Chains A and B, each alone.
Chain A
Amino acid sequence: MTTEVITPEEIIKKGKIVFEKTKLMTDCTLSYCPGCGHGVAHRLVMEVVDEMGIGDNTIGVAPVGCSVLAYEFMNIDIQQAAHGRAPAVATGIKRVFPEKYVFTYQGDGDLAAIGTSETIHACNRGENIVIIFINNGIYGMTGGQMAPTTLPGMKSSTSPYGRVVESMGYPLKITEMVATLPGVAYATRQAVHTAKLVTKTKKAIIKAFQNQKDKKGTSIIEIVANCNSGWKMTPVESNKWLDENMLAYFPLGDIKK
């Protein structure tokens, strides 16, 4: 019996390429938990930067949070900022490089708790940057503590009996808040846990970078994502929970166009 050996190169040659790894993602293995929304969001941002042909003209700002190592995965120049300070760091970059593309990539603890002031004021100045905001309702990196976006009644390691709004406050809709500011050109809430939503999110990211090109001001894209580890669920369960609970409180769609 003989077996035909086909090399990967031959397979690629035989078929028509319909899907490729984004050039602007490195070959590093993602440090995210399997099933986590961060990976998809990373890829989308890099895909857009690549397709717009601005990779050599783009500077990213990584937060403190699970995506602190974004610079290992995104193959562009990146600065890692102190917890919550990414919008201030991005301001510094954009002011000295007004012709370059600048974006921040931040979690909800980073952007809506410790960095609330930097977020609001960067938006209020209408800094001509893109803010990618991953809202997973929890502090992923530090082991699942309560975030400003944790839902009422939702359990976390610092709200072990569920978030009590009377003493712990309400989940913060910061994207709606900054949408009221004249400096903000575009504020939208998207998600990436289904193929259809991925396509929509990509469109939003394209629009945000186009806004920056057109010098329109701040564009903020909130991506409601799962944190299956922090939520203590399987990836599939977490996506279902996201649909039924997170999206009920954080409805998808454009808040300001």
Chain B
Amino acid sequence: MTASAIALVGNPNVGKSVLFHRLTGAYVNVSNYPGTTVEVARASARFDAAVDLIDTPGVLTLPARSDDERATMHALLHEPLRAVIQVGDAKNLRRTLTLTALLAELGVPAVLALNMHDEASARGVTVDAQALSNALGIPVVPTVATGGEGIAQLTRALTDARALQPLLHYDTDTEAAITDLANRITRHAPHPRLNARGLAILYLGQDSEVEAWLAEAAGDQITGMASARAAAQTKGVMPAALAHERGEAAGTLTARVTARTAQASPLLAHRIGQLIIHRFWAWPILLGVLFVVYEFVGVFGAGTLVGLMENDLFGKILNPAVTTFVRANIGVPWIADLLVGEYGLWTMGMTYALALILPIVTTFFIIFGLLEDSGYFARLSVLANRLFKLIGLNGRAVLPMVLGLGCVTMATLTTRILHSPRERLITIFLMALAIPCSAQLGVVLGLLGGISFTATLIWVVSMVGVLMLAGFLAAKLIPGRRIPLVTEMPPIRLPLFGNVAKKTVGRIKWYLIEVIPLFLLGTLIMFLLNQFGALPAIIRAGEPLVSGWLGLPPEASAAFVMGFLRRDFGATGLFALSHQLSPIQAVVGMVTITLFVPCIASVMMIVKEQGWKIAAAMIAFIVPFAFLIGGLLNHLLRAVWA
């Protein structure tokens, strides 16, 4: 760890990660919704390689209330910070300064980057940066992070970073409580960088990271602090009251330095934003979006592109050439089989990964990135809220679930934006059960789309049905209350080509690096099982379940064995059998394997975020449940859809 670091801190969705990219050259995901960054990222600064720049999750408020905000507070407490760059949204200064008011109490040297200047001007909002700088006692630099404006000035201003002027005094009772606690902290748990007063305010505000830090540093003395806080609370010194006072102070300063010119008509972006969640228009728009996604990914990606890659490139040119070459040059038959046989690393593993799934996930990532950056995803929380009420959640949980369609592993981390452990648990469970990731979605679309639209539709309806059913039960079983939805809608923005391209390339890289080795490993296991004659045994062992209950050909047992490695790989195994599958078998197989265990990486993530006990319990439920649902669907479909 370097001796000095600078953290980018600010409200959600204000452009911290874009600035991080500008200042370090390292790209972390940038999207147009609050909660893109949910863990700390670091890279050395362009202007000084000895300085680590730290990108943090956005905080709506400090004291931290959700796990992503806790990660930011954790960084403030534990990183060797030389300074903080607060990134603020110029058109939303009040919220920016509410956070500034808290940073001021912590006494870290700071600079304020007043970002999104372009959007502020478009809305007729101008901020007097000089006046603000005078009031705060720190450099204030207007920036447009996406356009690179103000970056040089910001870098230069860093040398002038200094402690902020306090923005407010709290009321008498609160001040008394703060002073008392601050004295105790100074005596028993002084922080190397942060002011005792700021820590006292956060402790009064019940910030769990600060509580943990103080408990560690103060030892037994924490009990004295706890009773001092309890005494203060009986006098009405409550977290919300402190937050209110900071908001008021921020409002006063905002009014002093901001000028607004009335807008003649609402911006186009506003009107589109409202239409998307309009009580009537929302639904045709949603159908339209789904249609475009289906056309682009399902028809163009899974149909046209896969056809070109699989039949023409791999089927007619590459695979025959590779096979001939290998057979001619490798004398050992089993090695040749390993490469180009039925379960060959090239003919099965690489062909699936590159010819079948890559085109589908690529088209998916492109449209996914566009939707992320437009601001559409965040608005789905409003549309889905009523449905999510049934499963004990609110619309906020839509975001991780939709992101799960990209990568369930990353989305499991995104559940940090949810406000209660209960919401997190339910959402993580439902994602592990019923949300297919992009790679798997690719296989499903490739197989079912080739059969019929009806088959795809049955799969979709089954997955949504299972999601709702399992969610409904989970909400009943897991104690706790549902939290009603209150959320902000990010502005509708025109996606930037560069950003969508960077994200897409990053995700394709992820696919190539993380998924392909697993495909090869899976192929190798299949090869070995086959080589040592274990496959027939597995097929026989799985027969009652796979053929009897699910109604699939016995060879499908092998697909489920592969599914333990990755769901999408198991799905690919079914794909390999597709010529033997009836439409019903294809749907049943895909539903079962989609519900089946999530990939190893996402299981590890669940262990990391929730502990191994919960992860084990989830798997123990999910595996039999997947077969239960698959079998029921099999019998139902045979009765009605023959």
**A and B are partners in one complex rather than unrelated chains:** no
Chain B interface (Cβ < 8 Å from any Cβ of A): none
Chain A interface (Cβ < 8 Å from any Cβ of B): none
